Amino acid sequence: MSYFELLKFASPEGVVVLTALGVLSVSLVSKRATAACAFVAVLGLVIAIVAVTFLPRNETLFGGMLVISPLTSLFKIICLALTFFTILLAQAEKTSRHHGEYLALVLLATVGLMLLVGSEELLMIFIGLELLGLSLYILAAFDKTDARSAEAGLKYFLFGSTSSAFTLFGISLIYGMTGTTSLAQIGARLATTPVQSLLAAGIVMTLVGFAFKIAAAPFHLWAPDAYQGAPVPSAAFIASGSKVASFVVLGKIVLVGFAPVHGSAGWHAMVAGWSPVLATLAALSIVIGNLVALAQVNVRRLLAYSAVAHAGYTLIGIVAGDREGFSAALFYTTVYAITLIGAFGVVGVVRRETGGDNFSNFRGLSSRSPLLAGCMAIFMLSLAGIPPLAGFFGKFYLFSAALHAGANQALLWLVALGLVGSFVSLYYYLLVLKAIFVDVSSVASAEPRERMRAVSLQESTVTLLGAAVVLLGVMPNILASRILAAIP
């Protein structure tokens, strides 16, 4: 294989790296050229998306280090699109003085996402994880004027590096047992190897790193502070892109690499393997996330705990362990990512206008900005799973896939737990909406102000995302059928 061919197959990643460098140099030339930086970044993303569509349909390089398949291409495009929206939010935010560097880091994190999505080899996955992680640590701590941002960065970094160490150790154990790092070959070797405790340790440790990335309980402790303290676009990116890519790669690891040690998570029929581990994580996340979210008064913290719960729902699809379950999990996490970027967009506007993001800051939003209030209602209700929004279809798809898997509705207990969880969640999402629609604005009394003048870019981004959530709810087929078709 020539280098030219390699460059061709890795062209989307290459384009994004070049864009990151380009953004850096633009910001070197002129400190004030924030609009130019953003323009270069957006242009680079568009070119990268085009490059993805020109990739061949199926190609595997170097034992899975770089895999091109309909699934990887689809999710590269989704990750690039999520980055695009993050950059739009960052553009409207403009809090930092180093806008060029900020955008460059977002782009580098995107390369990490694309490597994660496009690889079926443990070392490459680890490199992707680290590239993504290191960029996100800096993004979380980017606001130097805010102590909370530093706290967010530090916590994210400490938990993240510890769990990376676990993952690396787990990978080394699995390599020691099977002598390979390619997922497909690991799967083949494990099918002939008897299950032993060393293998179990390897699997559990590998999963820890991903449980951290998707903020599943009990590895979620970084999430509340990171979501609350980090600059709004960083938090949005951590909650969306990073999660989508992590779910794709987690699904590939367990469904391709660890396929022979699936085990069973049925209620009275637990068999050792990775699925009971993930089922436990899912159950814990649903319970802890939803219960702790009940007590929050800060919207970003509430979103963080609800993120824990949503990670739990999504894991149910992976526990189901078949094509349909994986497809449902991916649909759900994509919809969730779109919803959360939108919600953070609204939070960003409210924060800029009122100086905070507690419930009290949201009071009377419906009279200050009906459009944003309406969008926030769409996002919150979609998260709660109210039709006709995308979150509702996502839940239905997930839970029906989970019931289809296994004989005798073995996963009914997990589905029932998920439903109880979403019942609880409606309460706290309604509290947010109550502040927005029912309570009278306290801000207005402090200083009389005309209708909130939202930055039009942010307002239109949020509206676009809101429309996407409604569209995916009314016509889920446009995304669901693509994901299902892409999964082999």
Partner 1 sequence: MIAWTIYLTFGGAVLSLLLPRAFARWIALLTAIAGLALGMVVFVGTPIPELAQFTTIVRVPWVPALGMNYHLAFDGVSLTMVLVTGISAVSTVLFSWDTEHRQNEFFFWLLLVVAGCYGVFLSADLFLLFVFYELVIVPKYFLIAIFGSTNKEYGAMKLTLYSFFGGMLVFVGILVASVAGGSLDLNQLSQFEFSSHLQSWAFPVLFLGFAVLAGIWPLHTWAPTGHAAAPTAGSMLLAGIVMKLGSYAGLRVAMNLFPQGFQMWSKWIAVLAVIGIVYAAAVALRQRDLKFVIGYSSVSHMGFVLLGFATANALGVSGAVLQMFSHGVIAALLFAVAGRMIYRRTRTRELDALSRMNLSHAMPFAAFTFVVAAAASMGIPGFSGFAAEITILIGAWKTYPIAVWIAGVGIVLVAAFTLRALKLSFFGEKNVQTEVTTITTSSREVSNPITIPEKIGACMLMLTTFAVGVYPKLLLDRITPAIETMRFLK
Cβ-based neighbour number of residue 472 at 10 Å: 25
Q: Contact with partner 1 (CB under 8 A): which of 280, 400, 460, 463?
A: 400
Q: Contact with partner 1 (CB under 8 A): which of 403, 455, 470, 486?
A: 403
Residue 476 near partner 1 by CB under 8 A: yes
Of the candidate spans 27-35, 47-55, 248-256, 392-400, the one that interacts with partner 1 by CB under 8 A turns out to be 392-400
Residue 464 near partner 1 by CB under 8 A: no
| Closer to partner 1 by Cβ: residue 280 or 367 | 367
In whole angstroms, the minimum distance from the beta carbon of 10 to partner 1 comes to 32
| Closer to partner 1 by Cβ: residue 137 or 397 | 397
Of the candidate spans 13-21, 48-56, 335-343, 403-411, the one that interacts with partner 1 by CB under 8 A turns out to be 403-411
In whole angstroms, the minimum distance from the beta carbon of 412 to partner 1 comes to 8
Of the candidate spans 91-99, 109-117, 276-284, 419-427, the one that interacts with partner 1 by CB under 8 A turns out to be 419-427
In whole angstroms, the minimum distance from the beta carbon of 378 to partner 1 comes to 11
Residue 294 near partner 1 by CB under 8 A: no
In whole angstroms, the minimum distance from the beta carbon of 279 to partner 1 comes to 18
Residue 427 near partner 1 by CB under 8 A: yes
Residue 379 near partner 1 by CB under 8 A: no
Q: Contact with partner 1 (CB under 8 A): which of 70, 146, 404, 464?
A: 404
Interface with partner 1: number of residues (CB under 8 A): 32
Cβ-based neighbour number of residue 235 at 10 Å: 29
User: Cα–Cα distance between 382 and 388 in angstroms, integer?
Assistant: 8
In whole angstroms, the minimum distance from the beta carbon of 321 to partner 1 comes to 16
Residue 221 near partner 1 by CB under 8 A: no
User: Cα–Cα distance between 240 and 18 in angstroms, integer?
Assistant: 23
**Helix (H), strand (E), coil (C) string for the chain:** CCHHHHHHHCHHHHHHHHHHHHHHHHHHHCCCCHHHHHHHHHHHHHHHHHHHHCCCCCEEEHHHCEEECHHHHHHHHHHHHHHHHHHHHHHHHCCCCCHHHHHHHHHHHHHHHHHHHCCCEHHHHHHHHHHHHHHHHHHHCCCCCCHHHHHHHHHHHHHHHHHHHHHHHHHHHHHHHHCCCEHHHHHHHHHHCCCCHHHHHHHHHHHHHHHHHCCCCCCCCCHHHHHHHCCHHHHHHHHCHHHHHHHHHHHHHHHHHCHHHCCEEECCEEECCHHHHHHHHHHHHHHHHHHHHCCCCEHHHHHHHHHHHHHHHHHHHHHHCCHHHHHHHHHHHHHHHHHHHHHHHHHHHHHHHHCCCEHHHHCCHHHHCHHHHHHHHHHHHHHHCCCCCHHHHHHHHHHHHHHHCCHHHCCHHHHHHHHHHHHHHHHHHHHHHHHHHHCCCCHHHHCCCCCCCCCHHHHHHHHHHHHHHHHHHHCCHHHHHHHHHHCC
| Closer to partner 1 by Cβ: residue 288 or 401 | 401
Residue 172 near partner 1 by CB under 8 A: no
| Closer to partner 1 by Cβ: residue 314 or 422 | 422
Residue 388 near partner 1 by CB under 8 A: yes
The count of C-alpha atoms lying within 13 angstroms of the C-alpha of 177, restricted to the half-sphere facing its C-beta, is 25
Of the candidate spans 168-176, 204-212, 233-241, 429-437, the one that interacts with partner 1 by CB under 8 A turns out to be 429-437
Residue 313 near partner 1 by CB under 8 A: no
Q: Contact with partner 1 (CB under 8 A): which of 36, 47, 430, 486?
A: 430
Report whether 487 contacts 480 (CB < 8 A).
no
Residue 70 near partner 1 by CB under 8 A: no
| Closer to partner 1 by Cβ: residue 177 or 426 | 426
Residue 416 near partner 1 by CB under 8 A: yes
One character per residue 431-450, x = contact with partner 1 (rule: CB under 8 A): --xx--xx------------
Q: Contact with partner 1 (CB under 8 A): which of 104, 168, 304, 386?
A: 386
In whole angstroms, the minimum distance from the beta carbon of 387 to partner 1 comes to 4
| Closer to partner 1 by Cβ: residue 128 or 473 | 473
Report whether 258 contacts 274 (CB < 8 A).
yes
Residue 323 near partner 1 by CB under 8 A: no
Q: Contact with partner 1 (CB under 8 A): which of 396, 455, 471, 486?
A: 396
Task: Specify the residue for token string 């969880």.
Answer: 421
Judged by the rule CB under 8 A, the positions of this chain that interact with partner 1 are 381, 386-388, 392-393, 396-397, 399-400, 403-404, 409, 412, 415-416, 419-420, 422-423, 426-427, 430, 433-434, 437-438, 476-477, 480-481, 484
